[in-house]
């Protein structure tokens, strides 16, 4: 056994000596990790707050964005909207968009719209209609949270409201980092996390297109069940894709984002390109892959 | 605190990433795929960091993700590919010239995925049969059979090379 083990160790070390450098730095991993953590919190925290928080019934309305904290923290402000759910310090009314805060809590700081806009892929809704980051204090206790509400799909569905928060004990520095990550996540989506690619196949097997783009042509199952070819356009440019979904994973096997073909390209051109891609895929596939 | 979490996480990544890259490379045989696997594992590790760190199982957690991801990946009908700026009309780039290959590694990477993983875990990383079975989510008996077959194949390569 030692022969193989020793040789394996030596050969792996030797291979590592000629390996390319790691492609991403620790900062990138941290950012990715924070985003993943945020998405997890968003998924778990929608509509809930830290269980350790205990607040009374009733609620009062928070003044519109842009007012100062002192304007918004009058404990004598009249109750508005439905009472907050137990253990919830702040929450939007998904029907009216009105934000309410539990009585006895003051807004120490606020940041408007950290999440507002198209939502991150794993978020509870497709679009966040309004959001606010808040540092709330009561007595000696400080809590930070982001309240949001939004809609799924076309917006025909009922709006959903939720609160992302952590338990007491976190400091403002942590809150600032949290807001920074959250805002960066939303900003990336708004600024075009899509990058040059204008279409993708989501985990449900549906084609999603970048905002402002539409599917001009579509060929179903060019390489078999679950595959689709699309011609997407923003009215000026076209991109052509062949997507395959297999084994629960998505393979965007060919994309042509930089293709110089313009609206002059015809359906026949698109079809010919798809045929080329499909032929190339078949030629490059092993018999084992092709048999699946 | 997020800052504490980040500091300890960065320390772990800084000290152990090279080793995890080697593990991933041993499992998949390609440095680029290895880096994808390691990145996936380290991002998941960040999310689970407080819990994993409390139990002192940081490396085992990351390695388990690598092992399972590599096995899962091998089950995909098609490997994942990223969109390109243009449809390639030329052959893919040749393997890195600087990469040192060996007949033993080639043979390792030619093994069926489960045999390869079993050999790496048992005979490179020194895990027990029980530990390997847990990471691979298979029975101890299956680990033994995979390991035995994998070792037989590798030994034949060594015998041939030494003949």
pLDDT for position A46: 33
Please state, in angstroms and rounded to a whole number, the distance separating the CA atoms of residues B36 and B77: 18
Please state, in angstroms and rounded to a whole number, the distance separating the CA atoms of residues A9 and B125: 9
Q: How confident is the prediction along chain B (163 residues), in pLDDT tens digits per residue? A: 456 778 899 999 999 999 999 999 999 988 988 998 898 889 888 877 877 777 788 888 899 888 887 876 655 433 333 333 333 333 333 343 334 468 889 999 888 888 999 999 999 999 999 889 888 878 888 889 889 999 998 888 878 766 5
What average pLDDT does the segment A164-171 reach? Answer: 54
Min distance A90 CA to chain B CA atoms (Å): 22
Q: Which of B46, B90, B144 to mutate to test the interface with A (most CBs of A within 10 A)?
A: B46
B-chain residues near A3 (CB < 8 A):
155, 158
Q: Determine contact, residues A263/A236, Cβ cutoff 8 Å.
A: yes
pLDDT for position A285: 53
Closest by Cβ to A22, choosing from B21, B78, B101: B21
3-state SS string for A235-252: CCCEEEEEEEEECCEEEE
pLDDT for position B16: 94
Q: Chain A within 8 Å of B129 (Cβ-Cβ)? A: no
Which helix H or strand E contains A161, and what residues bound it?
strand A160-165
Q: Determine contact, residues A120/A185, Cβ cutoff 8 Å.
A: yes
Q: Chain A within 8 Å of B101 (Cβ-Cβ)? A: yes
Chain B nearest-CA residue for A32: B43
Residue A284, SS3 per DSSP:
helix
A223-274 per-position pLDDT tens digit:
788 788 888 887 777 777 777 764 333 444 544 444 444 445 677 777 777 7
Q: Which of A5, A210, A240 to mutate to test the interface with B (most CBs of B within 10 A)?
A: A5
- Tell me the percentage of chain A whose pLDDT exceeds 70: 50
Chain B nearest-CA residue for A197: B83
Asked whether the beta carbons of residue A255 and residue B84 sit closer than 8 angstroms, the reply is yes
pLDDT for position A172: 57
Which helix H or strand E contains A232, and what residues bound it?
strand A228-233
Is the pLDDT assigned to residue A188 strictly greater than 70? no
Min distance A192 CA to chain B CA atoms (Å): 16
* Stronger pLDDT, A92 or A44, i.e. the higher one: A92
3-state SS string for B63-86: HHHHHHHHHHHHCCCCCCCCCCCC
Q: Which of A29, A41, A209, A277 to mutate to test the interface with B (most CBs of B within 10 A)?
A: A29
Is the complex ipTM more than 0.90?
A: no
B-chain residues near A36 (CB < 8 A):
43-44, 46-47
Please state, in angstroms and rounded to a whole number, the distance separating the CA atoms of residues A22 and A16: 11
Is the pLDDT assigned to residue A276 strictly greater than 60? yes
pLDDT for position A281: 62
pLDDT for position A258: 44
pTM of the model: 0.46
B-chain residues near A182 (CB < 8 A):
none
Q: Chain B within 8 Å of A291 (Cβ-Cβ)? A: no
Chain A nearest-CA residue for B119: A5
A79 phi and psi angles, rounded to 5 deg: -60, 145
Residue A147, SS3 per DSSP:
strand
A189-to-A31, A34, A43, A64, A118 alpha-carbon distances in Å: 15, 16, 17, 25, 6
Asked whether the beta carbons of residue A9 and residue B124 sit closer than 8 angstroms, the reply is yes
Range from A3-12, A60-69, A137-146 that averages highest in pLDDT:
A3-12
Q: Chain B within 8 Å of A26 (Cβ-Cβ)? A: yes
Chain A nearest-CA residue for B87: A256
Q: Determine contact, residues B109/A26, Cβ cutoff 8 Å.
A: no
pLDDT for position B120: 94
A-chain residues near B123 (CB < 8 A):
1, 4-5, 8
pLDDT for position A56: 20
Residues 205-244 of A with CB under 8 A from B: 241, 244
């Amino acid at each position: 056994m030692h022969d193989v083990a020793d040789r394996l160790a030596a050969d792996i070390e030797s291979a590592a000596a000629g390996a390319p450098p790691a492609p991403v730095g620790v900062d990138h991993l941290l950012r990715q990790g924070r985003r993943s953590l945020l998405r997890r919190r968003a998924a778990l925290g929608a509509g809930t707050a830290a269980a350790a928080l205990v607040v009374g019934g009733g609620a009062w309305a928070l003044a519109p964005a842009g007012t100062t904290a002192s304007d918004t923290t009058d404990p004598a402000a009249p109750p508005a909207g439905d009472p907050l759910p137990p253990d919830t310090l702040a929450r939007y009314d998904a029907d009216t968009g009105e934000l309410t805060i539990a009585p006895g809590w003051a807004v120490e700081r606020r940041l408007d719209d950290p999440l507002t806009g198209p939502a991150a892929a794993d978020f509870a809704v497709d679009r966040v209609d309004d959001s606010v980051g808040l540092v709330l204090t009561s007595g000696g206790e400080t809590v930070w949270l982001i309240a949001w509400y939004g809609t799924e799909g076309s917006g025909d569905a009922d709006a959903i409201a939720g609160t992302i928060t952590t338990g007491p004990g976190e400091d403002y520095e942590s809150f600032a980092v949290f807001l920074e990550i959250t805002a960066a996540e939303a900003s990336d989506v708004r600024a075009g996390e899509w990058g040059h690619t204008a279409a993708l196949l989501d985990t449900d097997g549906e084609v999603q297109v970048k905002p402002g783009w539409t599917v001009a042509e579509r060929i179903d199952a060019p390489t078999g069940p679950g595959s689709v070819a699309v011609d997407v356009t923003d009215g000026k440019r076209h991109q052509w894709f062949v997507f395959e979904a297999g084994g629960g994973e998505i393979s965007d096997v060919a994309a042509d984002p930089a293709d110089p073909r313009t609206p002059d390209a015809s359906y026949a051109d698109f079809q010919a390109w798809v045929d080329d891609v499909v032929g190339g895929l078949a030629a490059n596939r092993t018999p084992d892959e092709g048999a699946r | 605190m997020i800052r504490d979490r980040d500091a300890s996480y960065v320390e772990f990544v800084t000290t152990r990433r090279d080793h995890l890259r080697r593990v991933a490379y041993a499992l998949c045989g390609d440095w680029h795929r290895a880096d994808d696997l390691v990145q996936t594992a380290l991002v998941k590790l960040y999310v689970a960091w407080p819990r994993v760190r409390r139990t002192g199982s940081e490396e085992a957690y990351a390695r388990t993700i690598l092992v399972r991801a590599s096995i899962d990946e091998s089950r995909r009908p098609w490997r994942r590919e990223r969109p390109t700026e243009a449809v390639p009309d030329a052959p893919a780039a040749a393997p890195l010239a600087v990469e040192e290959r060996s007949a033993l590694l080639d043979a390792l990477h030619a093994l069926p995925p489960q045999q390869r993983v079993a050999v790496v875990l048992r005979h490179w990383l020194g895990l027990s049969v029980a530990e390997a079975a847990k990471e691979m989510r298979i029975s101890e008996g299956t680990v033994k059979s995979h390991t035995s077959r994998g070792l037989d194949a590798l030994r034949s390569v060594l015998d041939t090379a030494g003949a």
